[in-house]
Chain A
Amino acid sequence: MGLTGIQIFKLLPKTNCGECGVPTCLAFAMNLASGKAELEKCPYVSEEAKEKLASESAPPIRPLTIGTGEYAVKVGGETVMFRHEKTFVNPPGLAAVVSTNEDDASVQGKMDRFKAAQYDRVGLKLRAEMFVVNDASGDAGKFIALAKKVSDGTGAGLILKSDSVDVLKAAATELKDKKPLIYAATAANADALGELAKAVECPLAVKGDGTLDSVAALTEKLTGMGLKDLVIDTGSRELKKVFEEQILIRRAALKDKYRPLGFPTIIMANEMANDLMDESLVAATFIAKYGALICLSDFQAHSLFPLFLDRLNIYTDPQRPMTAEQGIYPINNPDENSPVLVTCNFSLTYFIVSGEIEASRVPSWLCVQDTEGLSVMTAWAAGKFSGESVGSFINKCGIKDKVKHTTLIIPGYAAGISGELEEELSGWTIQIGPREASQIPKLLKTWKP
């Protein structure tokens, strides 16, 4: 992908001045090649080299941001076809459509549910980010009022959708500080919308006629006008065809460095299915396969929550396990006589163990030790869940002040540490728990201090 470090090195001044922050031009070139440095750091690079490097080293899929503030959505910037090759970096923004011909109560309901459907999970906030504001009547005043209502009421990012250049012009001019996405430039209006997007400095979507050629023609025309922040809608609405296009677009951008398709894509799931359940499956398809913005007809918790989990799972860095925070987790309102369990901080272990304890309805204390995201067996094998580390954690975490008894339940897979652990925790009894979390409720239900 792009130029190699050596190819870049040939374009640099080769003076090894060190002003870029690394000692040699070669080292700087290597950093540029791996995306760890920016060319601007070199004060002496020639204009010619700059131009060449800029076009070669630009990310294959244009990164851009829609919206501002806490709901701003960064999309694009992806570098791989498969998440296991590295990671997917910018999770797709999720949007619901509100329309100027929709009654107030319905719009308000969507806004309320947008705000309500926010969940915490492993220290992350799961929530939707955007609204598509749809112009159904060509009335600019109504359109702007609706966009403002949604924006002011929620802070969400906006996608301004209209067939009328005049309506988009009025709205984008009024709302340009919110950095909305203007939707959408077609063969018929690309000149006018290109000028508008340039003037208001907002990203612009292009909408093709269902062929990738038509998309490329539009993006080439608009980049020729000096626009950079573009989003692709191919215009197709048939699931199988959209899937094929998403694969081909990502592949063309990454493998062939084909610039006209090197932009994030928008998926109109609301126009591809008959109900919210099927829309959600369309959304899931393109969370996995390369959608950057996904539009639904509505926000409903039963659909959003699974989609948030899906997005979280697909966009988790495969090289870095998700972790739960080290500490004491009270479950089912425990007291001084409740059992104390200890486990590792691999997020899955935490979810499963805490879920089983919760399901048992037995008040319990769960102590989660930082094992750098390793599971019990792996952490034990790596010496990160040893008698010493668990003992020191239990001694320091404060659980001793919370209970009157002196029994600690450890995972069955870590049975081998019990001897050493007893030495670390003088006066405590180490009870070996089950190997599988599913057996925890059985143990807890009969547990006595």
Chain B
Amino acid sequence: MAFQPSKQVYSGQIREVTLGVGDKAVVIGGKAAYPFHSFEGSIPHPPKVAMEIWDKDPTEDWCAAAKEPFKDVLADPAAWAKKCVSEFGAEILVVQTKSADPNADNRPADQVAETVKKIVEAVDVPVVVWGVANHEKDTEVMRAVAEKCTGKRLALSPVEDGDYKQIGAACLGYQHIVVSSSPIDVNLAKQLNILLGNLGVNSKDIVIDPTTGGLGYGLEYSYSVMERIVQAALTQEDEKLQQPIIANVGNEVWKSKEANLSAEDAPQLGDPTQRAILMECITAVDLLLAGADVVTLRHPESVKRIKGFIQKMM
């Protein structure tokens, strides 16, 4: 008797969310099956690979392996953005507004927004603006960004329990996407989406960030919360969780100790560049398998390999 594989029954579907405008706008989400389970359900859009850039020169913060590919553009965010798109094939750009951090440079909001605007104007791919998770400062920065880039359908992140009213309203007013961000918890993710709905944010304009933990630093929590969100969305008709997911992978992985140790400091850990790239790629692979629709990466080699991985899996 031939083997009859049993099929998972799916009763829900992840919503499609369009990031950006124009020819290079990107549609994410839409899947009606578990990640890469195209053998038993529809997955209309492959997951996308975003690249991160910083709005300030990261020379002091980044290790040699991360700086090398961008060494000519690190001080010029617009040039850096262009390089990511034209040379390294970024499908989406994530601008980390590190310069706004009140514990570091604390650059004023309108200056930060001006830099973001220059980046947005320099590229045609969709842009995600990722703040510093300080409610007061992010609110100031995101409001300014939202206004300066009206109608560009940027995704503003992280929008948290403590600032969703302010940033959510800015997204509503100037036509941007909300990245609904909650600390590794299915119910909190759901609750924030309900609150955003009450505020008037359309579910076509919400992406979930359930918080990313890097490899060795809480990856398993992010992995399981994503699997649970996708399960609830696709098999339990939890319509408040039927939103695409973004994972800010590069930023998490590259701040871990082991991604930055040099060959002199840790000869037993092998080649530092390849090790860090693999730490980034493996985190991305796991979160893609768990349900991420967008993974944000730092190193061009990671981008290349993860794009190859997605292609082979689709």
The answer to whether A binds B is yes
Closest residue of chain A to B218, judged by CB?
A: A348
Contacts of B2 in A (CB 8 A): 213
Which one of B51-59, B74-82, B137-145, B219-227 is at the A interface?
B219-227
The answer to whether the Cβ of B161 comes within 8 Å of any Cβ in the partner chain is: no
Q: Give residues 10-59 of A contacting B (CB, 8 Å).
A: none
The answer to whether the Cβ of B6 comes within 8 Å of any Cβ in the partner chain is: yes
Q: Give residues 336-383 of A contacting B (CB, 8 Å).
A: 348, 351-352, 355, 358-359
Closest residue of chain B to A299, judged by CB?
A: B270
Please tell me the number of chain B residues within 8 Å of chain A, measured between CB atoms. 46
The answer to whether the Cβ of B202 comes within 8 Å of any Cβ in the partner chain is: no
Docked complex Cα distance between A398 and B230 (Å): 48
Which one of A63-71, A164-172, A310-318, A401-409 is at the B interface?
A310-318
Inter-subunit contact A252/B3 (CB<8 Å): yes
Inter-subunit contact B314/A240 (CB<8 Å): yes
Contacts of A355 in B (CB 8 A): 256-257
Docked complex Cα distance between A340 and B6 (Å): 58
Docked complex Cα distance between A116 and B267 (Å): 10
Docked complex Cα distance between A355 and B259 (Å): 12
Contacts of A277 in B (CB 8 A): 274, 277-278, 281, 305
Docked complex Cα distance between A240 and B279 (Å): 22
Closest residue of chain A to B36, judged by CB?
A: A243
The answer to whether the Cβ of A303 comes within 8 Å of any Cβ in the partner chain is: yes
Interface digits, A279-319 against B, CB 8 Å rule (1 contact, 0 not)? 01100110011000000000011111111011011101010
Interface digits, B263-290 against A, CB 8 Å rule (1 contact, 0 not)? 0000011111011011101100110011
Please tell me the number of chain A residues within 8 Å of chain B, measured between CB atoms. 56
Contact for A442 among B103, B215, B271, B272, CB less than 8 A? B103
Inter-subunit contact A285/B285 (CB<8 Å): yes
**Contacts between the two chains (Cβ within 8 Å), count:** 143
Query: What does DSSP make chain A's interface, helix, strand, loop or mixed?
Result: helix
Tell me whether A301 and B270 are in contact in the complex, defined as CB-CB below 8 angstroms, given that A313-B215, A348-B218 are known contacts: yes
The answer to whether the Cβ of A255 comes within 8 Å of any Cβ in the partner chain is: yes
Closest CB in chain B relative to A431 CB, distance in Å: 18
Closest CB in chain B relative to A410 CB, distance in Å: 19
Closest residue of chain B to A358, judged by CB?
A: B257
The answer to whether the Cβ of A117 comes within 8 Å of any Cβ in the partner chain is: yes
Inter-subunit contact B103/A310 (CB<8 Å): no
Docked complex Cα distance between A290 and B289 (Å): 12
Contact for A285 among B218, B274, B289, CB less than 8 A? B289
Contacts of B309 in A (CB 8 A): 239, 278, 281, 285
Contacts of A243 in B (CB 8 A): 36, 313
Docked complex Cα distance between A333 and B4 (Å): 62
Closest residue of chain A to B216, judged by CB?
A: A309
Contacts of A285 in B (CB 8 A): 285, 289, 309
Inter-subunit contact A348/B217 (CB<8 Å): yes
Query: What does DSSP make chain B's interface, helix, strand, loop or mixed?
Result: helix
Tell me whether A306 and B279 are in contact in the complex, defined as CB-CB below 8 angstroms, given that A83-B224, A313-B215 are known contacts: yes
Contacts of B8 in A (CB 8 A): 251
Inter-subunit contact B220/A316 (CB<8 Å): yes
Docked complex Cα distance between A230 and B108 (Å): 65
Closest residue of chain B to A260, judged by CB?
A: B3
The answer to whether the Cβ of B22 comes within 8 Å of any Cβ in the partner chain is: no
Contacts of B285 in A (CB 8 A): 281, 284-285, 288
Contacts of A247 in B (CB 8 A): 37
Inter-subunit contact B313/A439 (CB<8 Å): no
Docked complex Cα distance between A352 and B309 (Å): 30
Tell me whether A352 and B217 are in contact in the complex, defined as CB-CB below 8 angstroms, given that A281-B281, A307-B282 are known contacts: yes
Docked complex Cα distance between A439 and B102 (Å): 11
Q: Give residues 243-257 of A contacting B (CB, 8 Å).
A: 243-244, 247-248, 251-252, 255-256
Contacts of B217 in A (CB 8 A): 348, 351-352
Interface digits, B240-257 against A, CB 8 Å rule (1 contact, 0 not)? 000000000000000011
Docked complex Cα distance between A345 and B25 (Å): 46
Inter-subunit contact B216/A288 (CB<8 Å): no
The answer to whether the Cβ of A218 comes within 8 Å of any Cβ in the partner chain is: no
Contacts of B211 in A (CB 8 A): none
The answer to whether the Cβ of A400 comes within 8 Å of any Cβ in the partner chain is: no
Closest CB in chain B relative to A304 CB, distance in Å: 8
Docked complex Cα distance between A116 and B312 (Å): 33
Contacts of A284 in B (CB 8 A): 281-282, 285-286
Docked complex Cα distance between A280 and B6 (Å): 30
Closest CB in chain A relative to B161 CB, distance in Å: 15
Docked complex Cα distance between A276 and B97 (Å): 35
Contacts of B224 in A (CB 8 A): 82-84, 318
Contacts of A82 in B (CB 8 A): 224, 227-228, 231
Tell me whether A288 and B278 are in contact in the complex, defined as CB-CB below 8 angstroms, given that A119-B268, A213-B2, A243-B313 are known contacts: no
Contact for A313 among B37, B216, B312, CB less than 8 A? B216
Tell me whether A306 and B278 are in contact in the complex, defined as CB-CB below 8 angstroms, given that A244-B39, A248-B5, A285-B285 are known contacts: yes
Docked complex Cα distance between A358 and B265 (Å): 12
Contact for B289 among A289, A316, A359, CB less than 8 A? A289
The answer to whether the Cβ of A128 comes within 8 Å of any Cβ in the partner chain is: no
Inter-subunit contact A251/B257 (CB<8 Å): no
Contacts of A119 in B (CB 8 A): 268
Q: Give residues 80-102 of B contacting A (CB, 8 Å).
A: none
The answer to whether the Cβ of B114 comes within 8 Å of any Cβ in the partner chain is: no
Interface digits, A120-132 against B, CB 8 Å rule (1 contact, 0 not)? 0100000000000
Closest CB in chain B relative to A123 CB, distance in Å: 15
Contacts of B238 in A (CB 8 A): none
Contacts of B278 in A (CB 8 A): 277, 280-281, 302-303, 306-307
Contact for B268 among A116, A251, A261, CB less than 8 A? A116
Inter-subunit contact B3/A261 (CB<8 Å): yes
17 pairs, CB–CB < 8 Å, chain A vs chain B = A83-B220, A239-B312, A239-B313, A277-B281, A278-B305, A280-B278, A284-B281, A301-B268, A301-B271, A303-B275, A306-B282, A309-B279, A310-B286, A312-B216, A318-B220, A348-B218, A355-B256
Given contacts A302-B274, A305-B270, 7 further A-B contacts (CB under 8 A): A252-B5, A260-B3, A300-B271, A302-B272, A310-B286, A351-B216, A351-B257
Q: Which residues of A are at the interface with B, using a C-beta cutoff of 8 A?
A: 82-84, 116-117, 119, 121, 212-213, 216, 238-240, 243-244, 247-248, 251-252, 255-256, 258, 260-261, 277-278, 280-281, 284-285, 288-289, 300-307, 309-310, 312-314, 316, 318, 348, 351-352, 355, 358-359, 438-439, 442
Can you list the 9 inter-chain pairs with the closest CB atoms, starting with the nearest? A301-B270, A302-B270, A302-B275, A309-B216, A313-B220, A84-B224, A302-B274, A355-B257, A248-B5
